[in-house]
A and B are shown apart, each in its own frame.
Chain A
Amino acid sequence: QITLKESGPSRVKPTQTLTLTCTFSGFALTARPVGVGWIRQPPGEALEWLGFIYWDDDKRYSPSLRSRLTITKDTSKNQVVLTMTNMDPVDTGTYYCARRLPYDGDWGSGYFDFWGQGTLVTVSS
């Protein structure tokens, strides 16, 4: 059974750095072509892809947010960490981690077959 769960602060102040952890089970981020992605959703709005990290530590980011994002992994803990700098109120929303549907190639893209429950992050002073 594949599960993912996001954890981290529910509130951050403007200009602060957000750090979220995705803890997963039921698969390993150690073999080709496994990857984990991050997606966010402002309240009442559509989904926005943030980035991927792969079994080989390759990382891909949304071009519009690349300068603010870092994704890392700890395979011994089955965790993926998202860091987003210089948070702004427009970054308020639910942040999801999800497994990329495993297939070879197109590492800058993909589909998401298993999702975490999401964590709501509010950016406010």
Chain B
Amino acid sequence: EIVLTQSPATLSLSPGETAALSCRASQSVNTYLAWYQQKPGLSPRLLIYDASHRATGVPARFSGSGSGTDFTLTITSLEPEDFAVYYCQHRANGLTFGGGTKVE
């Protein structure tokens, strides 16, 4: 099973700042990686799939990069509604989620 490790566990930032979230895979997942946003009490929302493709309706301030084992979700100019937990998920040889990063 491929393990996804997200860091940091918590990221403390202010509105207007840029967030960089990391997801590292225990073995290569090519570009088969997605990012989700989850707010308290709500279901996850797909932001990015296949490492860098924004899902429908996702603002351009969300961008994904990386390949192989190292991936980054960047949120430029944080809006108040961006403070949430973010999960990465791979689809290479199975499917697992990372442990999440809380942006506060």
Contacts and interface: CB of A to CB of B under 8 A. Distances in A.
Interface in B29-49: 32, 34, 36, 42-46, 49
A112 interface: yes
Contacts of B97: 46-49
A54 interface: no
Interface in B10-58: 32, 34, 36, 42-46, 49, 55-56
Interface of A is mostly: loop
Interface residues of A, number: 20
Contacts of B56: 113
Contacts of B45: 115
A111 interface: yes
Interface of B: 1, 32, 34, 36, 42-46, 49, 55-56, 87, 89, 91-100
Interface of A: 46-49, 62-63, 96, 98, 101, 106, 108-113, 115-118
